[in-house]
Structure 1
Amino acid sequence: MAAETQLEFRPATSADLPFLTALRHATMSEHLARVNAARDDAAQLARILFQFEHAQIVSIAGKQIGLLKAYREPGQWYIAQIQIAPEFQGRGLGRSILDKVLTQASNDNLPTVLRVFDGNPAKKLYEAKGFKEIGQDGVECLMSCPPA
């Protein structure tokens, strides 16, 4: 990855809530609409605040471009959210963010687990990185990737 696209991570704070709300609307509204889930600001904020202590703002050269929310649970790493602003999608940044978590999980010799909405194109990336579907509820797919 070129220096100009070097990803930076920092803990999210309450000052980031406007950015995170706009990011969530921009990246998730289509998927939430498809499954008839709430998309109003209150619902978006509730999802943002879930496990907020693990939220990291992803930046390039100081410009906020996304969110990573991942954490270690007993026996696994869990990715709760990866979101990249639409104007930065398609550049391999999601793969780089995912690699960061998978490396940590492999260092801990633990699998990584996530949920992805049915129809979300990110599922192809997860499959390419070694995730396999282990559950399905008709709205979301539960996927797991063994440690490298």
Structure 2
Amino acid sequence: MADWEIRPASVADVEAVAELRAVVLRADLERLGRYDAQRVRQRLRDGFAPEHTWLIEVGGVFAGCVALRPAEDAHWLEHFYLVPHRQGGGIGAAVLRGLLERCDRDGTVVRLNVLQGSPARRLYERHGFTVETEDPVDVFMVREPARAGARAGARTS
């Protein structure tokens, strides 16, 4: 796995994140008949909350982003994207593990939605997310906080 760092996002990062979203979601949105080059970027711009967003950098170069937005009954994991050539190398799993450990310590439920058919769903399932509801476009998933002293995927006897 490449050396990576995570840093808080700023308002100035919105266009880089919007562009990454368009690249990463394109194949899934096209498969679902929902790709619109302008809309995919504008939806990110409209919901971008830098105070809840972090950028992932590899060697000081922008490689991805993730947001963890507090809501009434949970935190929403949003805008979790890695540049295509960094996907599958363990960075996403490491970033997700760190965020979930923080939520576990706080006793926080985490929710997300992923596009139907997205390979990202397997990553979320490996980290303890389960399907709550789904529709023809989205799968809504939830993860309860792990018990103190227990880890996702750990065996108990």
The bucket for the TM-score relative to the shorter chain is 0.7 to 0.9
Q: Residues 18 and 44 of structure 2 are in contact (CA less than 8 Å); yes or no, is this contact kept in structure 1?
A: no
Using the alignment, how far apart are the partners of 1:49 and 1:85 within structure 2? 21
| Cα 1:64–1:147 shift into 2, 3 Å | same
Instruction: State whether structure 2 residue 51 is matched by structure 1 residue 44.
Output: no
Query: Structure 1: which 4+ aligned runs deviate by more than 4 Å?
Result: none
Alignment match, 2:81: 83
1:101 aligns with 2:104: no
Structure ID, larger Rg:
2
Q: AA paired with 2:124?
A: Y
In 2, the alpha carbon distance for the partners of 1:73 and 1:101 equals: 16
SS of residue paired to 1:103: helix
Point out the more displaced range, 104-113 or 53-62: 53-62
CA distance in 2 between counterparts of 1:47 and 1:18 reads 9
Percent identity for Structure 1 against Structure 2 = 22
14, 17, 21: which one aligns with 2:18: 21
Deviates more, 1:130-139 or 1:19-28: 19-28
Alpha-carbon separation, structure 2, partners of 1:52 and 1:147: 24
When the two structures are superposed, what TM-score results if normalisation uses the length of structure 2?
0.83
Equivalent pairs, count: 145
Are residues 1:135 and 2:128 paired? Answer: no
Listed as ranges, the gaps of 5+ residues in structure 1 are none
Letter of the aligned partner of 2:17 in structure 1? L
Q: Could you state the TM-score of these two structures normalised by the residue count of structure 1?
A: 0.87
Contact 2:20 2:81 in 1 (8 A): yes
Corresponding residue of 1:113: 111
CA RMSD of aligned residues (A): 1.8
